[in-house]
Amino acid sequence: MLVAFSVAPSGGEGQPDASVHDAVAAAVRVVRESGLPNHTDAMFTTIEGEWDEVFEVIRRATDAVGRFGTRVSLVLKADIRPGYTGELTGKVERLEAALEGSE
Protein backbone atom coordinates (compact mmCIF):
# COMPACT_ATOMS: atom_id res chain seq x y z
CA MET A 1 0.00 0.00 0.00
CA LEU A 2 0.93 3.63 -0.46
CA VAL A 3 -0.09 6.17 2.16
CA ALA A 4 0.39 9.89 1.65
CA PHE A 5 0.18 11.80 4.88
CA SER A 6 0.64 15.26 6.27
CA VAL A 7 1.05 15.88 9.97
CA ALA A 8 1.39 19.24 11.73
CA PRO A 9 1.22 20.55 15.28
CA SER A 10 -0.97 23.34 16.56
CA GLY A 11 -1.62 24.93 19.89
CA GLY A 12 2.00 25.67 20.77
CA GLU A 13 2.46 28.11 23.64
CA GLY A 14 3.20 31.66 22.47
CA GLN A 15 3.80 30.67 18.84
CA PRO A 16 0.51 31.05 16.96
CA ASP A 17 2.22 31.92 13.65
CA ALA A 18 5.40 29.88 14.05
CA SER A 19 6.73 27.74 11.23
CA VAL A 20 6.21 24.01 11.62
CA HIS A 21 9.40 22.94 9.80
CA ASP A 22 11.08 21.57 12.94
CA ALA A 23 8.04 19.43 13.73
CA VAL A 24 7.74 18.24 10.14
CA ALA A 25 11.46 17.43 10.13
CA ALA A 26 10.94 15.27 13.22
CA ALA A 27 8.19 13.34 11.42
CA VAL A 28 10.20 12.92 8.21
CA ARG A 29 13.18 11.70 10.23
CA VAL A 30 11.01 8.92 11.68
CA VAL A 31 9.87 7.94 8.19
CA ARG A 32 13.37 7.92 6.71
CA GLU A 33 14.79 5.93 9.61
CA SER A 34 12.05 3.31 9.13
CA GLY A 35 13.77 2.00 6.02
CA LEU A 36 10.48 1.83 4.10
CA PRO A 37 10.37 3.39 0.62
CA ASN A 38 9.24 7.01 0.96
CA HIS A 39 9.07 10.36 -0.79
CA THR A 40 8.55 13.80 0.68
CA ASP A 41 7.35 16.82 -1.27
CA ALA A 42 6.05 20.26 -0.28
CA MET A 43 2.67 18.92 0.86
CA PHE A 44 2.89 15.23 1.83
CA THR A 45 5.17 12.36 2.70
CA THR A 46 4.28 9.12 0.93
CA ILE A 47 5.37 5.81 2.40
CA GLU A 48 5.08 2.30 0.91
CA GLY A 49 4.78 -1.01 2.72
CA GLU A 50 2.40 -3.40 4.41
CA TRP A 51 -0.56 -2.05 6.37
CA ASP A 52 0.80 -2.64 9.88
CA GLU A 53 4.31 -1.38 9.19
CA VAL A 54 3.14 1.76 7.36
CA PHE A 55 0.67 2.74 10.05
CA GLU A 56 3.20 2.07 12.81
CA VAL A 57 5.59 4.54 11.16
CA ILE A 58 2.79 7.09 10.73
CA ARG A 59 1.87 6.68 14.42
CA ARG A 60 5.49 7.27 15.47
CA ALA A 61 5.78 10.29 13.13
CA THR A 62 2.57 11.71 14.61
CA ASP A 63 3.93 11.19 18.14
CA ALA A 64 7.13 13.03 17.13
CA VAL A 65 5.11 16.01 15.92
CA GLY A 66 2.98 15.96 19.05
CA ARG A 67 5.96 17.13 21.09
CA PHE A 68 5.74 20.50 19.27
CA GLY A 69 2.20 21.45 20.27
CA THR A 70 -0.86 20.55 22.27
CA ARG A 71 -2.77 19.29 19.23
CA VAL A 72 -1.89 17.43 16.03
CA SER A 73 -3.56 17.49 12.62
CA LEU A 74 -3.15 14.35 10.50
CA VAL A 75 -4.33 13.96 6.89
CA LEU A 76 -4.10 10.56 5.15
CA LYS A 77 -4.74 9.25 1.65
CA ALA A 78 -4.15 5.56 0.90
CA ASP A 79 -3.85 3.45 -2.24
CA ILE A 80 -4.42 -0.14 -1.12
CA ARG A 81 -3.46 -2.58 -3.87
CA PRO A 82 -2.56 -6.04 -2.54
CA GLY A 83 0.18 -7.89 -4.38
CA TYR A 84 1.88 -4.80 -5.79
CA THR A 85 5.20 -3.34 -4.67
CA GLY A 86 7.41 -0.63 -6.09
CA GLU A 87 4.42 1.58 -6.77
CA LEU A 88 6.02 4.62 -5.14
CA THR A 89 8.06 5.03 -8.30
CA GLY A 90 6.16 2.69 -10.64
CA LYS A 91 3.08 4.87 -10.85
CA VAL A 92 5.17 7.91 -11.79
CA GLU A 93 7.17 5.93 -14.35
CA ARG A 94 3.95 4.78 -16.06
CA LEU A 95 2.64 8.35 -16.07
CA GLU A 96 5.85 9.66 -17.64
CA ALA A 97 5.73 6.92 -20.29
CA ALA A 98 2.14 7.84 -21.12
CA LEU A 99 3.08 11.51 -21.43
CA GLU A 100 5.99 10.68 -23.75
CA GLY A 101 3.73 8.49 -25.87
CA SER A 102 1.20 11.29 -26.34
CA GLU A 103 3.67 13.83 -27.70
Domain definitions of the chain by residue range: 2-101
1-38 residue pLDDT tens: 999 999 999 876 655 555 789 999 999 999 999 999 99
Helix-strand-coil split of the chain, %, nearest 5: 45, 25, 30
Q: How far apart are CA 75 and CA 6, in angstroms?
A: 5
Q: What is the pTM of this model?
A: 0.87
CATH topology of domain 2-101: Alpha-Beta Plaits (3.30.70)
Distance CA 1, CA 84 (A): 8
